[in-house]
Every structure is written in C-alpha cells, then in structure tokens.
Amino acid sequence: MLRIEGLCASYGERLVLENVSMEVGKNEIVSLIGANGAGKSTVLKTIMGLLKPTSGSILLDGDGIGGRPVNSIVRSGISLCPEGRRVFGNMTIRENLEMGAYVRKGSISSDIEHIIELFPVLGERINQPARVLSGGEQQMLAIGRALMAKPRLLLLDEPSMGLAPIMVDKIFDVIKSIWMQGMSILLVEQNAAMALDTCQRAYVIETGKIALQGSADELRANKMVSSVFLGRGE
Ligand code: ATP
C-alpha cells in the first residue's frame, strides 16, 4: 500500500532522513522504532506532506504522493495522529471529531457513532471541552479525530507517550481492533516492547537511516534491539 524509496528530507541545511526505504502492506501494522531524535516523526511528517522530501519517492497504491499538499494527501487516504495528541482544548469532543472530517463531504454522524463505539468514554462526554479529558482520553480523541478522515492508512506518532501503563494497554488494544477492522497502520513508538508486540514487521531508524528491518520476532531476537530498546542486558 505505502512504498517509500530512497527518501531524504532536511530541516534547512540539515539532512535528517537519509535514503529511507520502507513499506506498509494492506492491512498490516508496521512499527518504526528508534531513539529520541532519530527521525521517526520526520518520516511521518514527510509522508503527510508537512515536510517536502528533498529526494526519493513516496507511493500510495502506486501513485506518487511525495511533496503534495497535506489536504491532497489526506484525501488520498492517509491520516496522522500526531505526537503529543494536539487536541483542540477549547472545542468540544464532538467538534474535535468534526475537525477530523474537514476534508470530506457528506454526513459524518454515523462516523462519530463508530468512534464512540471504539471509545465509549468519548460518547459519555461528547459535549465537554477536550481540555477536561485525561491524557489517555485525549489520546483516544486524537486517534478518533484521525479516523474521522476515513483513512486507508493511519499514521500513529507515539500513542503511548506520557500515559500510565494501564492506559497504554487500552490504547494498544484499540490499535489492534482498528487493525482487525481492516486498517493499515504505521506506528512510531519509543515503547519498542509494545510496538513489537503489536506489529507484524518493524524498522529501526538510527540518525535518519534505516539500520534494521524484519519481522517483530526477528527484531525481538536481535541483540542490539534487545539491549538498546527492550532493556535486556547481556
Ligand atoms: P522523538 O521521539 O524525540 O520525537 P524522533 O525520532 O521523532 O524523536 P524527529 O522529531 O523526527 O525525531 O527529529 C529528527 C531530528 O530532526 C532531530 O535531531 C530533531 O532535533 C530535528 N528536528 C525535528 N524537527 C525539527 C525542526 N522543525 N527544525 C529543525 N530540526 C528539527
């Protein structure tokens, strides 16, 4: 579904992604793991059109989308749930969800119902401002908002960040159920253990380059991944 080949991207003069190649298949969960500042969010920003690639290609079902404006990329079927959630605190939960559907036409009430089925707590508080939600609930809202664009490919940037372990488990359960409903997912995570437990395949990025790739089992068995990302000493 998504094929990235030889992708390079920079902030000003500084090259941050160097020759990144990755794939996400239809109805696959693929994780991208790496240390702070390795370039994980930049991969997602570049796919989403928030940062223009300096070279390389990004193909969605064979169509080149690299460098297109964000609204065109959302319309083509990709949606981003950003790092740090970025919900609109003064808007209600319903209004936040409606914002996620801004690029498309037609009735959205049945889609809001679907999000409420996934996250019942959002339904209970649908007319409250988003700022009163806990961090975990805001993460649910951010995922719900991204789903309102009706993507084929969902990009999730650090959904576990700053959440209590019980909430992390809940968020990952929902990620799995969204996947079981047919979604393709690219998951960026620092929580490598959760990411590898959830995905089929994963890539490891180090200072802007893909250092390793393989099935979740292969990466779990890798010495470097095990000691650096899973905290298992020699
Ligand atoms: P984290 O887990 O901390 O978010 P990351 O792997 O997602 O890390 P990126 O946010 O992609 O890393 O950042 C990659 C590099 O690009 C880092 O060195 C970062 O400081 C730099 N960077 C990120 N955003 C910008 C920006 N807007 N302008 C300049 N440099 C940036």
Q: What is the pLDDT of residues 125-173, one digit of tens each?
A: 999 999 999 888 999 999 999 999 999 999 999 999 888 888 899 999 9
Cβ of 36 below 6 Å from ligand 1:
yes
Q: What are phi and psi of 201, to 5 degrees?
A: -135, 160
Residue type, 194: M
Cβ of 13 below 6 Å from ligand 1:
no
Atom of ligand 1 nearest to the CA of 158: 2
Sheet holding 14-24, edge to edge: 14-24, 2-11, 55-60, 63-64
Rounded to the nearest angstrom, the distance between the alpha carbon of 42 and the centre of ligand 1 is: 6
Rounded to the nearest angstrom, the distance between the alpha carbon of 169 and the centre of ligand 1 is: 26
Distance CA 173, CA 180 (A): 11
pLDDT > 60? residue 234: no
Instruction: Compute CA distances 58 → 3, 47, 158, 227, whole Å.
Output: 6, 7, 22, 32
Confidence category of residue 38, pLDDT binned at 50, 70, 90: very high
Q: Higher confidence at residue 100 or residue 68? A: 68
Confidence category of residue 15, pLDDT binned at 50, 70, 90: very high
Cβ of 11 below 6 Å from ligand 1:
yes
Cβ of 162 below 6 Å from ligand 1:
no
What length does the chain have?
Answer: 234
Rounded to the nearest angstrom, the distance between the alpha carbon of 37 and the centre of ligand 1 is: 5
Mean pLDDT of the chain: 92
The two structure tokens encoding residue 118: 């996934």
Atom of ligand 1 nearest to the CA of 35: 6
pLDDT of residue 63: 94
Distance CA 124, CA 116 (A): 9
**Probe residue for ligand 1, chosen from 13, 16, 210 as the CB with the greatest number of ligand atoms within 8 Å:** 16
Rounded to the nearest angstrom, the distance between the alpha carbon of 209 and the centre of ligand 1 is: 13
Cβ of 82 below 6 Å from ligand 1:
no
**Probe residue for ligand 1, chosen from 40, 86, 161 as the CB with the greatest number of ligand atoms within 8 Å:** 40
Residue type, 2: L
Q: 153, 184 in Cβ contact below 8 A?
A: yes
pLDDT, one tens digit per residue, over 171-212 is: 999 999 999 999 999 999 988 999 999 999 999 999 999 999
Cβ of 45 below 6 Å from ligand 1:
no
Task: Say which CATH class 2-90+151-228 falls into.
Answer: alpha beta
Q: Higher confidence at residue 65 or residue 231? A: 65
Q: How many helices (H) and strands (E) does the chain have?
A: 10, 10
pTM of the model: 0.93
pLDDT, one tens digit per residue, over 50-62 is: 999 999 999 999 9
pLDDT > 80? residue 105: no
Confidence category of residue 233, pLDDT binned at 50, 70, 90: low
Cβ of 191 below 6 Å from ligand 1:
no
